[in-house]
Amino acid sequence: FPFGEGVGDGAIAVLFALGLATCLAARIPAASVLGAMAASEPARDASITQPAAYLPFAHTLFVAILLFRVAYGFALSFEAVEGVPNMTMLGLVPIALMLVVALLPRMPRVDVLYPVAALLIIAGFLAIIVLNGRVAYGAVVNGLLFTGSECFEMLVWFVLASIGARNPVNALAVFAWGRAASSFGLLCGATVGHWTAYLPNGLETSILVACVLFLFVTANLTLLKDFSFRGTIEGVAAAVPLRLAEVPKPSGALLGSKVEGSAAFDAGGAGCGADRDPATTMPEAKEAPNAAALPVEAVAAEFKLTPRETEILSMLAHGRNAPYIQEKLVLSRNTVKTHVQNIYAKLQVHSQQELIDVVESFI
């Protein structure tokens, strides 16, 4: 910290002011995100019918975060003196890198930071094995590990913010999962670092670190081999309200009772039938009148859907959401999710809106 030891009160005041300024600056965008979440269907249900807009916790992104935070936790506890990390000036490298990136005319590909961070982490672990007990041992090791970890931390914050911007409804969950993976990795790394500190000789330390390094490299060459941070960002679609299929209006005698009760229906919405349950259906997910007019059977025959999939397709085509389908067909959430995934795969769509567009094309 730039203040000296005798200016503790000033340092605390500056830290408090920075925290307060951050909260005030984030107030408006945070209110916007919370408002979007309150006005939308719960992410747990919407993720069934709009899977491309929601990132699951089992995604490779969170595996990568956990993996790199293990290295950061190790750096925090390795060669620590009475619990105080062995910090070096190399920790300023990520800050300088961030300033350089901010001043560039074009934002570089986010994936560039990933191999840089990985190579620094690997160099840090190798330094433990090669320089074990030698001059500047802890400073070099921790400097490399901290620099690599902080470079990756910059990448993570950019990726999480970009994903949250693409789908604000799920932004809070994505940040929470990212921080959970980060905290768990930090705990695991710190545990290994403390364990290393209590090993009786350098050979055992080198063996333990070699094992950790082997696992780190193996994970990067297998689990993260084809992973792309840019691809992950671009693969998240925005959660959008449904536009229901336009149903041809009946003519002649059919124009009596059926159409009178659905005067509110137009191309962008649907009227409320007598069997409506507002508590289980989103405002934009109302069933269209004259449901039989949608060519669900033709779509089912074209894409070889099962009878149960055809039944669920009909409900999805009329804007029904996952909770309604669960209650109407007396099915579990996982069963409905599996059927929806199968329907999407057969129709080659990625959202309920795309499914509605396919059904509409058969009208």
Q: Which pLDDT belongs to residue 89?
A: 61
**Number of neighbours of residue 268 by Cβ within 10 angstroms:** 11
Query: Taking Cα atoms as reference points, which of 26, 70, 50 lies closest to residue 235?
Result: 50
Residue-level pLDDT at 120: 87
- Radius of gyration for the alpha carbons in the chain, expressed in angstroms and rounded: 27
CB-based contact 319:270 (threshold 8 Å) = yes
CB-facing half-sphere around the CA of 62: CA atoms within 13 A:
17
**pLDDT computed for residue 338 by the predictor:** 93
Q: What pLDDT is attached to residue 214? A: 92
Whole-model pTM: value is 0.72
The C-alpha angle 294, 300, 302, rounded to 5 degrees, equals: 110
How far apart CA 225 and CA 218 sit, in angstroms, is 10
pLDDT at 134: 61
Please calculate the CA angle 157-159-162 and round it to the nearest 5 degrees: 105
Tens-of-pLDDT digits for all 363 residues of the chain?
A: 444 445 567 777 888 888 888 888 888 888 887 887 777 778 888 888 888 888 888 899 999 999 888 888 887 777 665 555 555 666 666 667 666 665 666 655 677 788 888 888 898 888 888 877 565 666 777 778 888 888 888 888 889 988 988 888 888 889 999 999 999 999 998 888 888 777 777 788 888 888 888 988 998 899 888 888 888 988 888 777 777 766 655 544 433 433 333 333 333 333 333 344 434 444 444 444 444 567 889 999 999 999 999 999 999 988 889 999 999 999 999 999 999 999 999 999 988 989 999 998 887
47-70 b/e with 16+ CB inside 10 Å = b?
Answer: bbbbbbbbbeeebebbbbbbbbbb
